[in-house]
Chain A
Amino acid sequence: MNWGSWSNFFAMGGRGFYVWGAYLITLICIVAELGLLARHKRTLRQRLTQMLRLNKQS
């Protein structure tokens, strides 16, 4: 497959908005899922370590 130039590639035969729009939203969804998961991991670990520390003190 030869696009000739990068501008042809981004234009997607004049349908760039639809093709790249679909890909961009997919990318956002994946990044959002990974971001939420990472945040969940961080807060959960913080909460559980804190709990553990409190349990040891008492």
Chain B
Amino acid sequence: MTLRASGDAPLVECRGVSKRFVRPLDLAARIANRFGGDMRDEVVHAVDRVDLAIDAGEVVGLVGESGCGKSTLGRLAVGLMEPSEGERRWRGTSLAGLPPAAARELQLKMQMIFQDPYASLNPRMRVVDIVGEAPVAHGLIRAHQQTEYVGLQLNRVGLDPTLMRRFPHQFSGGQRARIGIARALAVKPEFLVCDESVAALDVSIQAQVLNLFMDLKASLGLTYLFISHDLGVVRHVADRVVIMYLGRVVESGPAVDLFAAPNHPYTQALLAEAGSVEARKRTFVPIRGEIPSPLAPPSGCHFHPRCPHAMPRCRAEAPPLAPIGPGRMSACWLNEPDADPAAQ
């Protein structure tokens, strides 16, 4: 992902970030180990040495199935979580070791819009406080300006400002999604991470919210990391697409090229499964197997147990993410010149 068109430093960059969740051994296991047991900490590599660079004004779609680490990567990118390894950069400067005041100010530039419009709004707060709390707390506006300011924010996302004294439960799902967007935009961010932000919405409402995202991008010059499992949505909004499988990036590239000619077998399988309205009665060809547990990922390439082209090498060694074309990268041994898919 270091291959980029522009020479400027990317707006947001994650370099070799990993996130491990560890469950330490309990007392019984530690005692068992004392007596020669072989118990280890349970470690989940939610994100495993991922590089991600997003240019200003770009929309990057992050795609994967549940448990692949896409939400964790989104949270790392926005700074909700500290990476176990690797560093984050904003416009080329490392975010590690910044003085707290500067870090807080930078943090305002990055905001997140969450998946569940029901769970991400405090049910006991009025909309005016949900949207207006952060700008007041961070000194962007004075407390007496809050009503007026929130009115502007609500207008921008297509909500009636006269509803600002209401509570979240008085709104429909689509309206709640808009409140979540207004809250994120209220602190004037430059970078938004949208984590499955339209997944819970009906199709007709989803179209309205996606249009709103694109209007806001045009009017405010926003940069998005758009996390979704819905390939149709990602194909529509994203300039560039990153595909994750079990904590690793398996393929990335410009959306048009990637959807036209997916390289990695997993991407190919995903695209084959993705339903389309165009399709008439068709035969579903299932991809084999289950998504493995991230607690015990397969050796070598994580996808090999489900891959139709798996070779002995795939079981032993994890393929590196290597360039395969202009702006495109893929992690698959099949792209090696000496690869022989016939060899089982």
Q: Do A and B bind each other?
A: no
